[in-house]
Each structure stands twice: as C-alpha cells, then as structure tokens.
Amino acid sequence: MDLLNYLGIGFSVALRPENLLYCFVGVFIGTLIGVLPGIGPVGAMSLLLPSTFKATPEAAIIMLAGIYYGAMYGGSTTSILVNIPGEAASVVTCLDGYKMARQGRAGPALGIAAFGSFIAGTISVLGLMLLAPPLARFALEFGPPEYFTLMMLGLTILIYLAHGSMPKALIMAAFGIVLGLIGLDTMTARPRFTFGRMELLDGVGLVPIVMGIFGVSEVLLNIEQVVRRDVLKTTIKGLLPTARDWKDSTGPIARGSLLGFLLGVLPGGGAVISSFLSYALEKKLSKHPERFGKGAVEGVAGPEAANNAATGGAFIPLMTLGIPPNVIMAMLLGAFMIHGVTPGPLMMKQNPHLFWGVIVSMYIGNFMLLILNLPLIGIWVQILKVPYKILFPLILLFCLIGVYSVNNSVFDIYVMLIFGIVGYLMKKFDYEGAPLVLAFVLGPMMENNLRKSLITSQGDFSIFFTRPLAAVSLVIAVILLISPLIPWLRKKREEIPKEEAS
Amino acid sequence: MRSRDIISSLFWAVMGIGICWGGYELELGNLHDPGGGFMFFWVGVIMVGLSCGILARAIRQTATAGEMKAVWAGISWKKIVSVLAVLFIYAYLLTPLGFIPATILLLIFLFKAVEPQRWSWAILGAVVSTLAAYGVFRLWLQCQLPPGLLGS
C-alpha cells in the first residue's frame, strides 16, 4: 500500500507540465549526445547543469537522469548505422548491429535495440523501486567507518575496472582526492592548497574539471586528426522487428535486463561490462553461435537491454547510500548538492517527492525515448551527417557557457582549459579520467568519514575491522588493490571489457 | 610506453612530494584527532610510492626506438595550439568585450581553424550560433553572461 501511495506521489510530480518538459529535454539531449561521438553523458550533464539552476530540484534531476539513460538509447544508433559506438556501452552493438544494417536490416536492428532498451529500462526502474526502500532502511544503521570503507571499495572497484595500468588509475584517484580537498577544511575552516586565491576557498568546481577532462580534451583529440564517419547509405524501413526477431530476442532481452540491473548496482562501468557479458552469455546459450558477429539479432537485443538496465541499477547506491558508483552518478550527486539535497538513506523520507518523482519520470522518459528512437529515427540519421568542423566549435561554445554560468566566473573557464590540457595529456600518457573524477567527488566525504571514525575510536584503526560491513568492504578493496600482484587475478582483470574515458 | 611512463611517473613523483610537503605544513594532527593536512600527506605518500613503482617498471622495460615520436606523430600541433590559445584569449576578453562580440570572434576563428571554410559561411555561422546561444542561455534560461561593451 505504501508503495502505491509513493507511486501516486511520484506520478503527481513527474506528470507536472514543467517536469514533463524537463524530462523530454533530458532524453532528447541524451539521445543526441548518444548519437554524436565526441561528447558523452558526463560532459553533457555538466554542460547542462547550470541551465537547471532556476528549476526545482525535481525538474533538474529528472532532466539530468534523462540525459544518462537517453544516451544509452542513442548510442546504439551510431553503432548500427556508422559502426562507431556513440557510447562505450554500445561498442558490442557494432558487432551484429552494423552487420544487420549492411544486410539491409537496419530497421529491425534499430527497432529491437529501442524495444529492448525500453523493456530493460522499465524492468530496471521496477527493480530500483523495489530494492531502494529496504536498502535505504538498512543504510540508516551505517556509521562513518562503513561509509568510509564503502566509498573506498567503490573507488577501488572503479580503479580495478579502469582501462590500462592499475597503478596509473590509482595515481589518478589520489590526484582526484587531492583536488577534491582543496578549499576550506570542513572541520577547522582553514584554507588548504588555495594559494591565496579567493576563488579556491570553495574548492575547485566539479563542472570545470569534468568539462575540461571530458569535453575540451575530447575536442582536442578529435581535431588533431581527421576522423571519417561514413553513414551507411541504406533506406531504413520496417522498424518493427518480425515475429522471428521477437522470438529470438525475448530471452536475450530478459537475461540482459537482469544482468544489467545487477551489474549496474556495482561501482565501475556497469553498463559497459554488462553489455559485453550479455553478448558473451547469449553467444554461449545460442544454438547457432556461429551467427554471432554476422548479423544475429540476439547480439543487438541482449547487450542493448543490459546497458539500459544498468542505468537503473546505478541509481541504487546513489539514492540509498549517497555513494555514486560511477562518474555519471558522481555528476548527479553534484547536481543534488547544488540543489540543496543530500542523497542517502534519509532522502526517501525527507524528499519523497524528489525520490519518487525521479523514479516515475524514468518510466515516462522510457516511453518518450521509444517514440524518439523509432518514428523519429530519421532526425538522428541526419544529425549523424553533421561534419565535425561545424560540431566542435559548438561543443566548445556550450562548454564555455556551461562553465561560466555556474559561478559567473572567468576563473572557472581557465580551470576548464587547464584541465582540458591535462585531460589531453592524460590520454596521450595512458591515464584515465574516470577515477580522478569519482575520487574528486568522494574525496571530501572519505576524509570526513575517516577523521570522524578516528576521532570516535580515539585513533584506533581496528574500528574498520571490528564492524562487519566495514571489514568486508575493506578486505575486498585490499584484494582488488593487490590483484595485479597475483597472476590469475591479473589475468582475470585483463579479460574484463573496460570503460574508456568517456 | 617506457619513455612515457618515465616522464609521467617523474611528474607524479614531484607532484606527490609537493602534496606531502603541503600536507605537512597544514598540520598532520595525530590519530586521535587528524589535522587538515593528514589526508593530503598520506595521499601524497601513496602518489610518490605509486610513481616509484611505475618508474621502476618502466626502467626495467627495454627501450623502443622512436616511441615518443610515435605518440605525437601525425598530430596537427598548429591546430591544437591555436585553438587553445584562442580559448585562453577568449577567457581573458570575455568580461571586457562582453559575451556577444567575444563569442562571435571566437566562433569565426573556430569555424575557420580546423578545415577552412568560406568567410561568409564562418561569419554567418558564428553570428547565428552566438545569438541562438544568447537567446537560449541568457533570455530563456536567464544565465548571467557578461554584457561588456554592449551594456546590460
């Protein structure tokens, strides 16, 4: 009964005209950036964050969430039509999606991707709705040691899953923590690493860092060499999959949804890993594995369902524990904070309108995406044809406006440009941006909880080992950290598909 | 990989030492009551340790001839440096010139920077994009943008 009441609250919030508009704008932009290689959901969310300042917290989060799951829908379009994934999570869709398009079946490929995404998105929202309340109640018993170790575990998993060398990912995380701690000490109000600059007293902004690393550096990488994108010249017809396609895809969509949702809850690149695992699983279960890679519809349906279901799962740690499991959720945490809302176990009680409004808006957003991605597919195909020489000045313009309007500060533009250069060099030297950004967001919370834990225990580190959840989290984190030293664990890590920087 | 890792690990080692020093200056406190520099110091120590690890591994690897050259090969430095320089100049001129004039100038340059286009197209594209951005962000979303020469 409670659940129905809460759903009622959610619908009353999500169906307000203003929120419907923000939801539509979110999923529209999400699809757009999913379609356009060069700017990912993180960049787009930071870019649009300032535009939500005048909106209510509900509208702001509804729109930003829409960008996230909308990007997963849009990412499949480029994979199928151009053989270039719009998102890392759509890499695997290229394998069979593009082959289907070459065989004249672009329509059913796009259709099953959209339907699969819709079904998986809806299932994951249901999972989120059912799982979040009990987890939030459980989280009320957590103290600073649990929070510190959980954040450490989250960060460690992201580092473990990072692309390339683990020590490099660790250095990035350490650097992110340092950047996150710049500004006034929350306990003593003493300035730290501000170098006498007033602008740094409040710390370095999340938006300039994210825009620099994920926006400006991407542009620099794209203009250094000309990238050709040849849109497959094919007529897209018959978007509705055939009965045979449905028969082949029902199982993969169901399995992909479940797998995606469960992996999405875990920190790290849930959407990416789940799409690869779903592909591997379907190939293994198939009676005709030889069809995979040659235009098998299951190879599109399963991974697309998995990456969309993962987006719903990723909301669980953020909304119930206040711990972002990936960079995109870290961005969303920043948005929550800017709007004066602290996500965590109390959010459901203190802000039921926001919590349930966002969840219900995801149902509605999924419907909107279905319409955007099926009847309106032609628009996205046209957008794919916009040349980069026109696109990149506009991306830079939006980055500049987005960064400036957060604090009306030119200083933030300089910070973004510096991090643009840093991000560019990071890519050249094989360092990844995701651990830096997540550590940047988690750093201050980790420090706060570490100091509180040590003050409570009077300097006794055993507080982290005597509390079961803290101990388990710490042990797993340590195992993951030392994994490169253990050959079979190192091999396992190398086999996992990795999330690229964006 | 070798040269890149040597260069980057040395950079991070120096950075880590600086962070340790900064943390130490900020006051470490003690385990009963960690000070403001506690986390900085230990994170700095970890950075130095990791950098040394990367450096040691890189030194053990055999050098590949022309490795650094390969990383930077085929890159159009002129484009990258000029785009960055213009963005810094834009940031510097944004307040005195104002959003509209500064952005039009920036976009004209950017539209011509990567693949040269006709002047008429670049100017028209820059003006239309700037006015559209102004309409959306300033007039509709009411974001503050510097007025500069054009007043309010």
Q: Which of A142-146, A381-385, B16-20 has the lowest mean pLDDT?
A: A381-385
Determine the pLDDT at residue A501. 38
Identify the pLDDT of residue A105: 84
Q: What is the mean pLDDT of residues A138-162?
A: 83
Q: What is the mean pLDDT of chain A?
A: 83
pLDDT at A227 over 60: no
Q: Is residue B113 predicted with pLDDT exceeding 50? A: yes
d(CA A491, CA B138): 53
User: What's the CA gap between A414 and A399, in Å, rounded?
Assistant: 12
What 3-state DSSP class applies to B52?
helix
pLDDT at A177 exceeding the cut of 90: yes
Judge: B39–A223 Cβ closer than 8 Å, yes or no.
no
Q: Name which residue leads in pLDDT, A100 or B144.
A: A100
B72 contacts on A by Cβ (under 8 Å):
428
Task: Flag whether pLDDT at A235 surpasses 70.
Answer: no
The least confident of A182-196, A272-286, B136-150 is: B136-150
Taking CA atoms, A466 is separated from A143, A149, A471, A474, in Å, by: 13, 12, 7, 11
Among B50, B77, B144, most A C-beta atoms within 10 A, so best to mutate, is B50
pLDDT for the residue A382: 77
The predicted pLDDT at position B52 comes to: 94
Residues 6 or more apart in contact with residue A255 via CB below 8 angstroms: A278, A281, A282, A285, A302, A305
Q: Which residues contact B68 (CB under 8 A, 6 or more apart)?
A: B3, B4
Question: Could you tell me which chain A residue has the CA closest to the CA of B52?
Answer: A167
pLDDT confidence bin for A502, thresholds 50/70/90: very low
Closest Cβ opposite residue B75 in set A187, A224, A459: A224
Q: Which residue of A has its CA nearest to B94?
A: A410
Helices (H), A140-165: 144-160
Q: What's the rounded mean pLDDT across residues B145-149?
A: 81
The whole-angstrom separation of Cα A445 and Cα A422 is 25
Arithmetic mean of pLDDT, A202-216: 86
Between residues B112 and A495, the one the model is more confident about:
B112
The token pair at B16 is 């880590």
Chains A, B: CB pairs < 8 Å: 160
Place of tokens 């293994």: A284
* Residues of B in Cβ contact (< 8 Å) with A420: 84, 87
pLDDT by residue (tens digit) across A64-103?
Answer: 989 888 887 777 887 788 776 666 777 788 888 888 888 8
- In the numeric block, the tokens 């949804």 are attached to A257
- Interface check for B137 against chain A (CB to CB < 8 A): the answer is yes
What per-residue confidence (pLDDT) applies to A102?
A: 82
Q: What is the average pLDDT score of chain B?
A: 86
- Residue A269's pLDDT band, with cuts at 50, 70 and 90, is low
Quote the pLDDT of residue A458: 87
Contact A181 B90 (CB under 8 A): no
For residue A374, what pLDDT band results from cuts at 50, 70 and 90?
A: confident
Q: Identify which of B40, B90, B125 has the shortest CB distance to residue A181.
A: B40
* Residue B59 near residue B74 (C-beta atoms within 8 A): no
Distance from CA of A254 to the nearest CA of B (A): 41
- For the segment A400-410, the average pLDDT, to the nearest whole number, is 84
Res A498 pLDDT > 60: no
CB spacing of A225 vs B76 below 8 angstroms: yes
Domain coordinates of chain A in residue numbers?
Answer: 2-495
Give the burial class of A244: count Cβ atoms within 10 A of its Cβ; 0-12 exposed, 13-18 middle, 19 or more buried.
exposed
What is the predicted pLDDT for the residue at A460?
A: 86
CB contact under 8 A, B141 and A455: no
* For residue A496, pLDDT beyond 70: no
Select the residue of B33, B46, B141 nearest A455 (Cβ to Cβ): B33
Test mutation, B114, B134, B142, B144, chain A, max A CBs within 10 A: B114
Q: What is the torsional sign of CA A132, A137, A140, A146?
A: negative
Rounded mean pLDDT of B121-136? Answer: 90
Mapped onto helix, strand or coil, the DSSP state of residue B30 is: strand
Q: How far is CA B115 from CA A186, A225, A229, A261, A393, in A?
A: 49, 11, 16, 44, 12
* B150 in reach of chain A (CB within 8 A): no
Q: How far apart are the first and last CA of chain B?
A: 53
- B144: contact with A, CB 8 A cutoff: yes
Q: Cβ(B63)–Cβ(B4) under 8 Å?
A: no
Asked whether the predicted pLDDT for residue B18 surpasses 50, the reply is yes
Residue A228 has pLDDT above 80, yes or no: no
Given an 8 Å threshold on Cβ–Cβ distance, is A417 in contact with B88?
yes
Cα distances from B106 to residues A293, B97, B99, in angstroms, run: 45, 12, 10
The pLDDT score that the predictor gives to residue A469 is 87
3-class DSSP state for residue B34?
strand
Residues in chain A: 502
Contacts of B24 in chain A (CB under 8 A): none
Q: In this predicted structure, which of A22-31, A230-239, A292-301, B58-67 has the lowest mean pLDDT?
A: A230-239
Quick one: pLDDT band at residue A245, thresholds 50, 70, 90? confident
Tracing tokens 């082949």 back to the chain, one arrives at: A248
Q: Which among B36, B44, B133 is the nearest to A192, CB-wise? A: B36
Q: What is the pLDDT, as a whole number, of residue A500?
A: 44
Q: Tell me the β-bridge partners of B29.
A: B34
Q: Give the mean pLDDT of A12-21.
A: 92
CA atoms within 13 A of residue A256's CA, in its CB half-sphere = 38
Whether residue B133 and residue A401 make contact (CB cut-off 8 A), yes or no, is yes
Question: How far off is chain B from A224, nearest CA to CA, in Å?
Answer: 5
Q: Which residue has the higher pLDDT, A104 or A3?
A: A104
Distance between CA atoms of A377 and A490, rounded to whole angstroms?
42
Is the pLDDT higher at B54 or at A132?
Answer: B54
Mean pLDDT confidence for A90-118: 85
Per the DSSP assignment, residues forming a β-bridge with B34 are: B29
Q: Which of residues 51-110 of B touch A (CB under 8 A)?
A: 51, 53-54, 71-72, 74-76, 79-80, 83-84, 87-88, 90-92, 94-95, 103, 106-107, 110
- What is the CB neighbour count within 10 angstroms for residue A415? 21
The rounded distance, in Å, linking the Cα atoms of A496 and A269 is 10
Contact B22 A193 (CB under 8 A): yes
Judge if ipTM > 0.85.
Answer: yes
Whether the pLDDT of residue B51 is over 90: the answer is yes
Say whether B114 and A388 touch across the interface (CB within 8 A).
yes
Beta carbons within 8 Å of A1's beta carbon, 6+ residues apart: none
Picking from A25, A48, A171 by the largest number of B CB atoms within 10 A of its own CB, the best residue to mutate is A171
Arithmetic mean of pLDDT, A268-292: 81
CB contact under 8 A, B145 and A451: no
Q: How far apart are CA A241 and CA A113, in angstroms?
A: 10
Residues of chain A above pLDDT 90, percent: 14
In this prediction, residue A226 carries a pLDDT of 58
What is the spatial distance between Cα A88 and Cα A338, in angstroms, rounded to a whole number? 28
